[in-house]
Structure 1
Amino acid sequence: MRTRFLPWLALLPLLAACNSQPETTNPDATEAAVADSVAYDPEASTDSARMGKAGGVEVGGSALTPDKTLAQNLAASPDLSQLLQAAKQTEVAEKLGGEGPYTIFAPSNAAFGGLPHGAMAGLLKPESKQNLTGLIGYHILPSRLLALDLRDGQELTTLEGQKLKIGVQGETITVNGAKVTTKDVVSKNGVIHVIDKVLLPPNE
């Protein structure tokens, strides 16, 4: 179900400008350039934990490992604490600890710091729970997609039923214009791609 944002979220024009969608330039862009960080046995089970590096991927000085759930890996990284805090204010955190699979485009704490002053505090108020759920859900896909699965110009449907647009240029991956800074953080119920901006759902 799509979540409509309250009028005060119109105070986020800076975010809307930063998250403008990139133009599609080459729908057939090669996937080989974005596959180097994924080490998995194609003959093994498709269980997500088997697709990750045994030692995990470092995010914020902590190794996020494929034997943990998405929720546990978010909790393990100090750089993703704002996202986890927001998810815990909704039912989304429970999903991320469940069976999945899910793909999270996870804004770092620095990305949340780029929001206009007071925006996140407003979203964390109890009366803003529906809007916060919509915001967090807009960063999550109900499927597991590694970097090698992402293609330039691809449109993906989020938990909220809205679309995200992927850009792939060489080794650079973007989602609605936000850059993926760390890709393929594999968890046993999905995968995390860290991004440098908070994504705003379309205000339909």
Structure 2
Amino acid sequence: MAAQTRLRRWKPFFAAFSSVDAAIEAANPGLSRDEVRHARGRIVDMLCNARDEEEAEELCLLLDDVMAESLVTLRQEHVTSTMLSTSDLAKDVGALKNHESERVRGLVNCILRGWKLSVMRDISRYRSAMDKLSHIPETHPHVSSELDANVKQTPLIPKEKAAVKDNDRTTRASLPKKKGVPSAGTKKMKSILEMRTRAGRASSTAEKNAIMSFLHRM
């Protein structure tokens, strides 16, 4: 009965052992907690089989010492803000504030204060970094598209030349088209046709022969 009473007293705090061991090993990979786990397991087994109240109390005091030494080791390691935000370490260690051991409670309060100060320093550094970044103007790099490349390769016509060309086209469009001047060959052909017409209309053979003779000489 005494052993069961002592186990109930310790039951809310057993989770803290695992969290503390994991945090120590994460902060210092070269520091194994296997021996501590093994020793702690033996104490718990002995507590479950305690014969009387006195023996159970002595074993509980041993567990108190193991927890206190674990907290001392944890206090010496650097626990990051990331570790605190991604695990139950802060909650499990915070639960030890209700532990019966005064030494354990004192260590817990000291550790929690250190963690709070560390987190506040991190927040201050993050704010300072963000403040500096916020004063840097944002730039949007121009991404050249295929259309931009084509536009750059196309030679631009100066405005003055373009205006001259436009006026040129307007002037040519407004000018009346010149009528063609009859050539010498055209005049001769017209005369021949007129003479043949007169020969066909001649009233006498003599007149007709005279016209035809003239045509042969042309």
Scaled by the length of structure 1, the TM-score of the pair is 0.19
Instruction: Name the larger-Rg structure.
Output: 2
Q: Give the strand-richer structure, 1 or 2.
A: 1
Q: Give the helix-richer structure, 1 or 2.
A: 2
